[in-house]
Structure 1
Amino acid sequence: MTVPVLELDQVSISYRDGDQCRCVVHEVSFSVGPGEVVALVGESGSGKTTTAQAVIGLLAGNGRLEQGAIRLNGTDIAGWSPARFDSIRGRVLSLIPQDPTSSLNPVLTIGEQVAEILRIHRHGDRKAIAARVIELLAHVGLPQPERRARQYPHQLSGGMKQRVLIAIAIALRPALIIADEPTSALDVTVQRRILDLIDSLRREQGTAVLLVTHDLGVAADRADRLVVMQNGRIQEQGPTAALLRKPQSAYARKLLADAPSLSTTAFRPAVSGDDDDIAIEVDELVHEFASDGRHDRFRAVDRVSFRVRRGTTHAIVGESGSGKTTTLRNVTGFLRPTSGRVRIDGIDPATLRGEALRQFRRRIQLVYQNPFTSLDPRQTVFRIIEEPLLNFEPLPRAVRERKVRDMLARVGLPPAVLARYPHALSGGQRQRVAIARALVLDPRVLVLDEAVSALDVTVQAQILDLLETLQRDLGLTYLFISHDLAVVRQIADTVSVLHGGRQVDCGRVEDVFLRPGSDCTRELLAAIPGQGHPRPVLHPSPCLEAA
């Protein structure tokens, strides 16, 4: 009988906060065999990351393994000292962390950082290590590896930085790799390439992979088995195909129902209305930036045109560097076009100055990607939502308070939240506060910049439902910036696909998705995770109906 590379047996983990001790992982048991991919899936707070941290000996200082065994190649490593873990990290088990930007040292070259793991474990002399660094960078698909070795992290794209982290993780051919949300910050095509790379390395070296993710589509595509966690407990586990086809637990059914890439939801139904009632008009938009040379110009947006009917949602999709953000900044008036024209409700923001431009911003508001960084941590929720009113309207306090409370109720939050600070809220609650802040000035257009990409699938589904309700009730027009085409399919009426600053497809979402006009669009659609697996059979359950 083959010994599992990793085996957890009745593992329970707690965190101590002052005199209080809170158990966050309860009697978790599962295994990972040689060359196997097992995915830990669940929402934030489900215990999946804490479980993975315990495996690699990186629990927070107040974390404690209360009971159970963690066996690595048959040896129980539970309770090992940090020094003992240092002797096996990188050599026997490795970690691919979530954020490639914060995980690399900004003042060391890429080559120095890859070489560090080799030096720590004395893997050859200086010359051998230098050669191995180049070999590793080439192996993970980085072009011009000698050049990349001399560069610093800020000179690489997100996908390139994630490849560097993979090079570090596989440098010593470990038996187990823990991949903690390894692609959550990447565009779908880059995500697919990174996951393909991990998969090919697994096949070549027989490495086992513990994949920690909230993306059910990624787990469906890449894992041999799924372990579904909620509130620190395993709700269900089993072979991926069987679990997707017929999930047994109510929680697994809800997760699968909320995952856009696994959803059976068809395209958004067409909205009737006046085709001449245009809220946003972008005509032959060009935006250039100064390049390195004195007279050189870089064209970030090249003759992009689209129109958005009032009360509908238009999505802009594309890889990093496609021109999405530059287009957004032109539409909102933060940049002025090099040529072409933008009109919001018939007003060209490029013609406005001073107070007129400031007042224009009431018509169009932004909701940003990350609810953890877009809210001021020093302000209460009441102050956060009230602040735009203080900036734009000299209203009596009683009127301001009523508007804040009304808007809070509209986004589905209770009055008790008003006295709290952002750190006391969940990710979904924070994004609801950000939406309330954007809507308190009664704008007609809302720009949503990756507004659900940082959220777990169930919270994401709740926010998408909220946005649909607000649009219907308030007649809002949305400009939705996203790299998640599964979400776009669900929420948008029309879409522009950008590539290299050019618009390569534009039209109704259903038309573009079913009949793409460019290879770029076809590649983006092919990269949507979860498409190659059977749709789950989702039978109603009393638990779900009660929820």
Structure 2
Amino acid sequence: MKNLVEVRDLKVEARTDSGRRVEIIKGVSLDIAPGEILALIGESGSGKTTIALTLLGHARTGCRISGGTILVDGKDMAKLGERELASVRGTEVAYVPQSAAAAFNPAIRIIDQVIEVTKIHGLMSPAEARSKAIDLFRALSLPDPEHIGERYPHQVSGGQLQRLAAAMAMIGDPKLIIFDEPTTALDVTTQIEVLKAFKSVMKAGRIAGVYVSHDLAVVAQIADRIMVLRGGEIQETGSTDDILHRAAHPYTRELLAAFEPKPRDDAAVAEKKRAPLLEINNVIAGYGPMQADGLPLVRAVSGVSLSVEKGRNLGIIGESGCGKSTLARAIAGILPISAGTMTLDGRELAPSSRRRTRDQVRELQIVFQYADTALNPAKSIEDILGRPLTFYRGMKGKARDARIAELLDMVHLPKALRHRRPAELSGGQKQRVNFARALAAEPKLILCDEITSALDTVVAAAIIDLLKELQRELSLSYVFISHDLSVVEAICDRIVVMYGGKKVEELTPAQAKAPMHPYSSLLFSSVPKLDPTWLDNLKLDPEQVRAYSHA
């Protein structure tokens, strides 16, 4: 069978801060057959997204394709001019980004954006394009396919928007689609629906794909073959089954070993009860105008109570929109609570961080999910880490510089990064800077809002190990919000399950194997396994899915 994609000796160069050029992709070769899905996996900076983008004839700012051939259906993407590339993109090769929200214009209706490529390339009449879009919405299991396109992007859920981004990529009948970590930001129940939809449409249309991901369990469900990358070089390539069960390269085995972080010692979890560090009682928080009863119009958190003991960790899980991130923002004082009480180390916390003492603000830090929006793009990493050192500790000069070096080392980042700006770092590096900034305050409690969702498995496992190490050394406590249940089980002593703004169950990691509440059961059973047959064989209770899925 003739290959659809043939890449030979691909080389990509990047320009360093000093203007020197370094090779970041070092002679990569690969083939993709028609209808085949190849997964590219590896740690942050391994080159997987860079390689995928070259199939569109694109290199990111500061980079250039310096050698090799990139044949897609016989066309060398490295040699095509901009006009030729524009005619190929969207019709022969398409792209589905990690953040669907960034792919859509918030001011234009979804249907008009989905069919735009058909207008640009004159592929079909507007009526035919709309009909085809509705067929794709139906094939991708989107609700109300006839009318969902009339909405604006903010009027649909994250999982729906991700599938709509796929519809936008597929409407031009491409032969190849690049999926760049398209389910990373989705909760597990939504991820299941999106993966099933992607897989069925790709198979039905015999569309080839390149699936970029650091999540091996997701890759196992959708890929025919896996290519393992590190430092811009191929470490190993094989069928999905061979890579998962008969990996030959030590680095591949390291990735597999890091898939499930080492669980906490049950003996440590079972220690006698400690004094509470954080207590919240009957907290209500939300958005919109206040009603006559003094409560907000939208109650994202409704009557939640929980406790975090000193030196212990609490996990909060639930699907998108369940209120877990709103709860974290309320605890941090970013979103003032409307009712209830909160205490930290025996002292009452004011609803707003502005009314809390400087020590209270220092002792309770939050690390946000999206480092891109949490870090000031105009400041260097040195300035970002130095500010809390000066603000909370009055550090200046050599003492401040030495502490910045220590913080970078604590989160496994090279000291040379201190002079760079966030845009010059990978997603994983930015999130580690985000965490280092929280550590700079020397807090007692850190609220971690999906802090490992943007990290590859090896780095995420290293971060979890780091959190445990810091906890032992500094007596830290964590509130860990995540949709990665293996991460929560690995680091948390107790797990709170939230649904619809309420706490529906609280349990230990051991009890998570047999939860009592039906929603908890749905959530835990929706976690992908390192088994290529898992998604196809998954049988969820239809009543549960109807009752609880908001995909």
Q: TM-score range by the shorter chain?
A: 0.7 to 0.9
Is the Cα contact below 8 Å between 1:428 and 1:463 reproduced in 2?
no
Identify the residue that residue 210 of structure 1 maps to in structure 2: 210
1:181–1:213 CA contact under 8 A, matched in 2: yes
2:343 aligned residue = 343
Task: Select 2:276's aligned residue among 252, 255, 278.
Answer: 278
Partner Cα distance (2:352, 2:232) in 1? 54
Name the SS for the 2:374 alignment partner.
coil
Name the counterpart of 1:376: 376
After superposition, where does 1:62-461 map in structure 2 within 5 Å? 63-74=63-74, 76-260=76-260, 265-269=262-266, 270-271=268-269, 273-290=271-288, 297-350=297-350, 356-393=356-393, 411=411, 421-422=421-422, 429-461=429-461
**Offset at residue 196 of structure 1 (A):** 0.9
Q: C-alpha separation between the residues in 2 aligned to 1:385 and 1:108?
A: 39
Cα distance change, pair 409–32 in 1 and its aligned pair in 2 (3 A): closer
Is the contact made by 1:159 and 1:194 (CA closer than 8 Å) also made in structure 2? Answer: yes
Hey, what's the Cα distance between the residues in 2 that align with 1:412 and 1:235? 23
* 242 and 396 in structure 1: CA distance in 2 versus 1, 3 angstrom threshold: closer
Q: Name the CA distance, whole Å, in 2 between partners of 1:354 and 1:480.
A: 24
Q: Which residue of 1 aligns with 2:547?
A: none
1:36-90 per-position Cα deviation (integer Å, ceiling 9, x unaligned): 2210111222222222112122234665444433333455554122322333333
Alpha-carbon RMSD across the aligned residues, in angstroms, is: 3.0
Q: Secondary structure at the match of 1:362?
A: helix
Shift of 1:127: 2.7
CA distance in 2, matches of 1:353, 1:19: 44
Give the Cα–Cα distance (whole angstroms) in 1 for the partners of residues 67 and 417 of structure 2: 36
Matched, 1:41 2:44: no
Q: Which amino acid aligns with 1:388?
A: P
Q: Which moved more, 1:3-12 or 1:214-223?
A: 3-12
2:284 maps to amino acid: V
Q: Does structure 1 residue 529 correspond to structure 2 residue 528?
A: yes
- Which residue is 1:493 aligned to? 493
Partners of 1:416 and 1:125 in 2: CA distance:
55
Measure, in 2, the Cα distance between the counterparts of 1:175 and 1:351. 54
Shift of 1:325: 1.5
Q: Which moved more, 1:398-407 or 1:355-364?
A: 398-407
Letter in 1 for 2:170: I
Displacement of 1:321: 0.5
**Normalising by structure 1, what TM-score?**
0.87
Deviation at 1:219?
A: 1.2
Contact 2:390 2:396 in 1 (8 A): no
How far has the Cα of 1:143 moved from its partner? 2.1
The number of aligned residues is: 530
More displaced stretch, 53-62 vs 426-435: 426-435
- Post-superposition shift, 1:467? 0.9
Corresponding residue number in structure 1 for 2:541: none
**Paired-residue identity, %:** 35
Helix, strand or coil for the counterpart of 1:198? helix
- How far apart are the structure 1 equivalents of 2:291 and 2:276? 40
User: Residue type matched to 2:513 in 1?
Assistant: L
Distance 1:210 1:503 in 2: 39
Q: Secondary structure at the match of 2:453?
A: coil
TM-score when normalising by structure 2? 0.87
Secondary structure, counterpart of 2:510 in structure 1: helix
2:6 aligned partner: 7
Conserved 8 A contact 2:431-2:454: no
Deviation, 1:197, is 0.7
Task: Tell me which residue corresponds to 1:471.
Answer: 471
State which drifts further: 473-482 or 181-190: 181-190
- Three-state SS of the structure 2 residue aligned to 1:459 is helix
CA distance in 1, matches of 2:72, 2:421: 42
Gap runs ≥5 in structure 1? 536-547
Cα gap change, 1:34 to 1:526, in 2 (>3 Å): farther
Which range moves more in the overlay, 291-300 or 132-141?
Answer: 291-300
Letter in 2 for 1:375: L
Distance 1:401 1:33 in 2: 53
Contact 2:362/2:443 (8 A) holds in 1: yes
Shift of 1:256: 1.7
Whether the 8 Å contact between 2:381 and 2:433 is mirrored in structure 1 is: yes
- 8 Å CA contact 1:444–1:476 kept in 2: the answer is yes
Partner of residue 513, structure 2: 514
Q: Which amino acid aligns with 1:242?
A: D
1:474-526 deviations in Å (ceiling 9; x for gaps): 11111111111121121111111111112122121221x20122232222222
SS of 2:165 mapped into structure 1: helix
Unaligned residue ranges in structure 2 (runs of 5+): 535-551
Give distance in 2, aligned partners of 1:201 and 1:79. Answer: 31
Shift of 1:133: 3.1
SS in 1 for 2:55: helix
The alpha-carbon distance between structure 1 residues 102 and 225, as it changes in their structure 2 partners (threshold 3 A), is same
Distance in 1 (CA, whole Å) between partners of 2:346 and 2:381 is 34
8 A contact 1:362–1:442 mirrored in 2: yes
